[in-house]
Amino acid sequence: MSANGQEPQHTISLLVHNRPGVLSRIAQTFARRGFNIDSLVVSEAHMEGFSRMTIVSTGDPATLDQIIKQLNKLVDCVHASEHTGGESVERELALIKVEATGDTRSEILQICDVFRAKTVDISEETLTLEVTGTTDKIDAIEKMLNRFGIREMVRSGKLIIVRGAETT
């Protein structure tokens, strides 16, 4: 357990063959051990025929070690590893549609400026914002904008890449 009494959060990156059924087998590996996947991002890798997955999950570190060992044994999994602390660059993207009247619009735009968010759509009643950063940053701007009325929000999930010359 972490210092706040909750299970620790883990970020796992995988390089897998880009074939049908791979995602299902990966998800089953987590489900069999009772781990929920909190966030999942999958995209084609820079190498043809491969995909990169970033999975965020919460749970016991010893069980997670077993999951990573099982993932590394899967035929379609080239490499699976957990990433912690400052060894990697982490980013998340969120699109947030917030209610914005004439009275509140300038205050919302000031919050956007502080968080370096971009306005990507505007209507008479709403502003749609794009914000990138750590999960904590996305959580913080969400908290700030809640009082104006968030109509809709979409988050990408965490993306990571290892710092320096080492590969993820």
What confidence tens digit (pLDDT) does each residue in 51-104 have? 999 999 988 888 889 999 999 999 999 999 988 767 888 899 999 999 998 889
Superfamily of domain 9-83: ACT domain (3.30.70.260)
Q: How far apart are CA 70 and CA 29, in angstroms?
A: 7
Q: 89-161 maps to which CATH number?
A: 3.30.70.1150
Q: Which helix (H) or strand (E) holds 98?
A: strand 88-99
> So where are the chain's domains?
9-83, 89-161
pTM: 0.80
pLDDT band at 3 (very low <50, low <70, confident <90, very high): very low
Asked if residues 80 and 71 have their Cβ atoms less than 8 Å apart, the reply is: yes
Tens-digit pLDDT profile for residues 110-161: 999 999 999 999 999 999 999 999 999 999 999 999 999 999 999 998 888 8
Q: What is the pLDDT of residues 5-26, one digit of tens each?
A: 577 788 999 999 999 999 999 9
Q: How many CB atoms lie within 10 A of CB 21?
A: 8
